[in-house]
Structure 1
Amino acid sequence: MGETLLIVDDEADIRAMLRDAFLLEGYRVLTAASGEEALALLERRPDLVLLDVSMPGMNGLDLCRRVRDFLACPILFLTARVEEGDKLAGFSAGGDDYVSKPFAMQELSARVAAHLRRESRRQHSAQVRFAGELTVDYSQRAAWASPRRCCTTPGC
């Protein structure tokens, strides 16, 4: 692993719990207590942002709108707001996922891992061509020949 997560939440207990859990999973973790503090940490280019919606000052929706044009990493909202309109506002602001508090840590961890896998595939998309039994990946400068399959047809 080793990806960097930025956790933005005004509640110190939630920041500490998330930080400790993700550190145990092998992530590097940055934390911020406000949108303004998060802006400075975003310069460190985290791989994923966990963002509370309800914070004093710059809330999570405003922060997301402000950085979305410049930051391509996944942004997951963590919030106590559970109304459909709140979720739609989060997605409209540029969020990639919306997790309601209270949440199960295992599910949040699985969502984070899934978003990071998807992002990794997007960044390392192969330039692959298939020709019969031959597969060529131009981006990795590699080629593979599929093993012949045994069949029951005579002369195969």
Structure 2
Amino acid sequence: METTERRVLVVEDDRAIADAVAARLRAEGFRVHVVGDGPAAVEAARTGRPDVVVLDVMLPGFDGLEVCRRIQAERPVPVLMLTARGDETDLLVGLAVGADDYMSKPFSMRELAARVNALVRRADKARVTVENAIHLGDLEINRAERRVFRGGVEAHLTPTEFDLLVHLAGRPRTVLPRERLLADVWGWADASGTRTVDSHIKALRRKLGADLIRTVHGVGYALEVDR
């Protein structure tokens, strides 16, 4: 596993949880830095340039949602958000401000490590050299620069939003089940995170137009632009 030099920033004010998460990720070969409040998290992300951030919602200073918003504005980075069990509002807002994945407390350390590894693999895959652009109607996706334009206007997407759009654009007008999107884009082996797909689709519509992606209820989504 090529995670030896990968850096993870863990942002958690509960010391016992932070220490347990850090120990598990270090055992996986990651270099881990732990902070316990919002301002320290933003500064650590700026100076340490982590490959992944594990981020609790409830923090001193300012909360994890504001942390996510600020660090994504400076440099897109994969974020795994930790939320209280059943807190739907935090989950949806977290995904809206740029979180890539989420877990509800209490959680399995094994599952957390698997999710972090999946985020790293996806980020590595995104860095592989690819053909420069996809043109579909008035949609332009520059994969080398990871930039998206519609009607000549640039839309600023999070890393996961970009990867999801590229995946849909690779099969325009083809309905892709949410379970397949979870497997192909997020690297999840099960279908427990379909709300994650729905939230990212909602974000793409907000940023690129409500007409861009068609919902097929009970099945999945299709990109609805001309070839």
TM-score normalised per structure 1: 0.77
Is 1:114 matched with 2:113?
no
Alignment of 1:21-100 (within 5 A): 21-42=24-45, 43-100=47-104
Q: 2-side partners of 1:48 and 1:37: how far apart?
A: 16
Q: Which amino acid aligns with 1:24?
A: A
Q: Which amino acid aligns with 1:85?
A: T
Tell which structure's C-alpha radius of gyration is larger.
Answer: 1
* Same amino acid, percent of matched pairs: 40
Q: Which amino acid aligns with 2:105?
A: K
Deviations along 1:57-83, whole A, 9 cap, x unmatched? 211001111121212110110121523
Is 1:8 matched with 2:11?
yes
Partner of 2:33: helix, strand, or coil?
Answer: strand
Q: 1-side partners of 2:30 and 2:115: how far apart?
A: 14
Q: Is the 8 A contact 2:57 2:90 kept in 1?
A: no
Please report how far the alpha carbon of residue 9 of structure 1 lies from its aligned counterpart in structure 2 after TM superposition: 0.5
Partner of 2:107: helix, strand, or coil?
Answer: coil
Q: What does residue 177 of structure 2 align with? A: none
Q: 2-side partners of 1:61 and 1:93: how far apart?
A: 7
What RMSD over aligned residues (CA atoms) do the two structures have, in Å? 1.5
Q: Which amino acid aligns with 1:120?
A: D
Q: Mind listing any 5+ residue stretches in structure 2 that lack a counterpart?
A: 132-227
Q: Is the 8 A contact 2:79 2:99 kept in 1?
A: yes
Partner of 2:77: helix, strand, or coil?
Answer: coil
TM-score normalised per structure 2: 0.54
Aligned residues: 128
Divergent runs of 4+, >6 A: none
